[in-house]
Amino acid sequence: MAQQLEAFLGIPLEKVIKSAGETLYMVGWSLIIGAVIGFVLAVFLWMTRKDGLKRNDILYTILNAIINIIRSTPFIILMVCVMPFTKAIVGTRIGTKAALVPLVIYIAPYFSRLIENALLGVDEGIIEAAKSMGATTFQIVIKFVFPEAFASMILGITTGTIGLIGATAMAGYIGGGGVGNLALTYGYQTFNTNLMVFTVVILIVLVWIVQAIGNGLARKRRVHS
């Protein structure tokens, strides 16, 4: 069975497994780090906006501008631009670990927008009710806004993670490896259609699983009957 598959793909199976591992590594870590940074940025954006709990026009404008600039830069260009920074942090410009830096920089602003939207979706009335109960700003955020926004935040992070999987395919350019890179270098560039189709199927399954997990987590908090 394994031999037949290898014959079908035209490359050793370990190579496929290694690539899958690289993709999971890159997606996993940049998801965790990116989500944490994105979350903090989102809370700042939400708090400092015009009708926010701690309005601060200067901070909001700066944050908003940085996020917009990064989000409008294509990932492939971003990857090259941040190379000196990558070297300073990781010690090298290439490899799977080095790819994490541009991935996080790419995905964190995206996450922050998605999470900000989830926070903005919380009814102003909830915040007013919280204030009327004598809640502090911290309590309003932790005990009222987060629980209400949780399901939408999960769905936002799910959407962002799928974008992240797409971005990891490009990490091959700086030696990040991964399934997307396999499809590109061994599949597309050597006219190995079988391998290309197979790797695309792996990516489809991965995206499918991520979406299912996200939907499941969100539904648990949203539907009660």
Partner 1 sequence: MSLIRLEHLTKIFDGKNKVEALNDVSLEIEEGDIYGIIGYSGAGKSTLVRMINALEVPTSGKVFVEDQCLGDLSDKELRTTRKKIGMIFQQFNLLNSKTIYNNVAIPLKLNGVGKADIDKRVDELLTFVGLADRKNAYPDQLSGGQKQRVGIARALANNPSILLCDEATSALDPKTTESILDLLKEINEKLNVTIIVITHEMNVIRHICNKVAVMDYGKVVENGSVIDVFTNPQTKIAREFVGNLIHDEVPAPLVPGIRAMTENYKILRIKMKNTEHTEPLLWELNTKFEVKTNLLYCTISIIEGIVIGIMLVLFAGTDDEIRKCEEYILKCGEQYEEVEL
Q: Given the rule CB under 8 A, which residues bind partner 1?
A: 123, 125-126, 128-129, 131-136, 139, 143-144, 147-148, 150-151, 221-222, 224-225
Q: Minimal CA–CA distance to 101: which of 115, 91, 111, 114?
A: 91
Q: Minimal CA–CA distance to 109: which of 146, 55, 143, 73?
A: 73
Give me the least distance between CB of 141 and partner 1, in Å please. Answer: 13
The HSE-up count of residue 100 (CA atoms within 13 Å, CB side) is 19
Give me the least distance between CB of 8 and partner 1, in Å please. Answer: 48
Complex with partner 1: residue 24 or 126, whichever CB lies closer: 126
Complex with partner 1: residue 66 or 142, whichever CB lies closer: 142
Complex with partner 1: residue 18 or 131, whichever CB lies closer: 131
Tell me if 82 sits within 8 A of 101, measured CB to CB: yes
Give me the least distance between CB of 122 and partner 1, in Å please. Answer: 10
Neighbours of 214 (CB within 10 A): 19
Give me the least distance between CB of 130 and partner 1, in Å please. Answer: 8
Phi and psi torsions of 135, nearest 5°: -75, 145
